[in-house]
């Protein structure tokens, strides 16, 4: 019988600034595979491609080269960035309300991961070693979900306006836990027992009606952070500068591309989109 992935440990990232998209991607992958700078680079590339397509179309409206549709200056990323990050690992992100995801609506416990989004917050619900956990970065530790409660929880989230995405594909089997090079500085490895102990400790201080602790815990934390995650503090100035620089570089790169090269690149990009 195949052993538990990552030695049976759970990888969790606790909310830092407005980086919940990064936390979400990494908990889907169960390891610190991406930094905020990696996602910013993906956002910049997406912006570049979008500008190229608009330039090729020759429309009257062109996006402001200093603005991005894929990352805000305070670090909030679009679903397209999450999709591109997970595509690196051959993982597909599918809206749960799409026809292809219908089996997951009926039997979600047969899947491996879901991404949840509302306003500016992202989090992951993931099956690890046969058990389901809520890896919301606003939680101190991943919270175990029974298979029965998983379905009810997803229905409750959708009824509250959350967008749910199914993640399918070949998930990474292992992450080098002991390697210092594998850490992005935000995550921690926890045994299921430690995660349960931390969760019980947190819930004991804010116990509510049975079955509602997860939604209430998120709601309290979400409102505490202003309904859109924490804002970046002075320690994140380097990240702000990196995003601003990436946007500037992307705009300059598009401006300097010769017209014939730009047209050829957009033709290739269009062919890629058709294949996808």
Task: Give the H/E segment covering residue 30.
Answer: none
Question: Does residue 121 have an active-site annotation?
Answer: yes
> What pLDDT is attached to residue 70?
67
Q: At 101, is the pLDDT very low, low, confident or very high (cuts 50, 70, 90)? A: very high
Alpha-carbon gap, residue 66 to 244, rounded angstroms? 8
User: pLDDT by residue (tens digit) across 45-78?
Assistant: 887 876 777 666 665 555 555 556 667 656 678 9
Show me where the domains of the chain are located.
Answer: 12-98+108-175+185-203
Question: Does residue 20 have an active-site annotation?
Answer: yes
> Which residue among the candidates 20, 24, 116, 175 is catalytic per the annotation?
20
Does 245 have pLDDT greater than 50? no
Does 238 have pLDDT greater than 90? no
Task: For residue 110, give the 3-state DSSP assignment.
Answer: helix
Question: Does residue 175 have an active-site annotation?
Answer: no
Q: How many helices (H) and strands (E) does the chain have?
A: 9, 8
Residue pair 93/86 in contact (Cβ under 8 Å)? The answer is yes
User: pLDDT by residue (tens digit) across 104-156?
Assistant: 999 999 999 999 999 889 999 999 999 999 999 999 999 999 999 999 999 99
> Which residue among the candidates 23, 136, 175, 236 is catalytic per the annotation?
136
- Other C-beta atoms closer than 10 Å to the C-beta of 60 total 4
> Which residue among the candidates 74, 117, 121, 236 is catalytic per the annotation?
121
The owner of tokens 């905020």 is 36
DSSP alpha helix (H) spans, the chain: 20-29, 36-57, 79-87, 102-106, 147-159, 192-204, 213-224, 237-256, 259-275
12-98+108-175+185-203 belongs to which CATH class?
A: alpha beta
pTM for this one? 0.71
């Amino acid at each position: 019988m195949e052993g538990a992935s990552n030695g049976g440990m759970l990888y969790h990232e606790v909310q830092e600034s407005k980086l919940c998209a990064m936390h979400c991607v990494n908990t889907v992958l169960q390891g610190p595979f991406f930094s905020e700078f990696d996602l910013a680079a993906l956002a910049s590339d997406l912006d570049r491609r979008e500008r190229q397509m608009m330039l090729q179309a020759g429309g009257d409206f062109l996006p402001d080269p200093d603005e991005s549709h894929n990352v805000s200056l305070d670090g909030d990323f679009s679903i397209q960035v999450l999709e591109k990050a997970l595509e690196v690992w051959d993982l597909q992100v599918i809206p749960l309300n799409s026809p292809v995801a219908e089996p997951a609506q009926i039997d979600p416990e047969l899947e491996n991961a879901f991404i949840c989004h509302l306003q500016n917050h992202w989090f992951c619900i993931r099956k690890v070693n046969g058990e389901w956990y809520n890896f919301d970065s606003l939680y101190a530790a991943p919270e175990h979900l029974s298979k029965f409660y998983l379905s009810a929880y997803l229905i409750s989230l959708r009824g509250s306006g959350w967008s749910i995405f199914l993640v399918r594909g070949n998930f990474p089997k292992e992450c080098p836990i002991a390697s210092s090079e594998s850490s992005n500085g935000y995550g921690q490895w926890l045994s299921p027992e430690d995660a349960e102990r931390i969760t019980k400790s947190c819930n004991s201080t804010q116990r509510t009606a049975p079955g509602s602790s997860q939604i209430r815990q998120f709601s309290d934390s979400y409102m505490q952070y202003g309904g859109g995650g924490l804002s970046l503090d002075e320690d994140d100035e380097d990240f702000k500068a990196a995003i601003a620089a990436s946007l500037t570089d992307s705009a300059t790169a598009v401006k300097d591309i010769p017209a014939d090269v730009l047209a050829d690149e957009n033709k290739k990009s269009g062919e890629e989109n058709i294949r996808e």
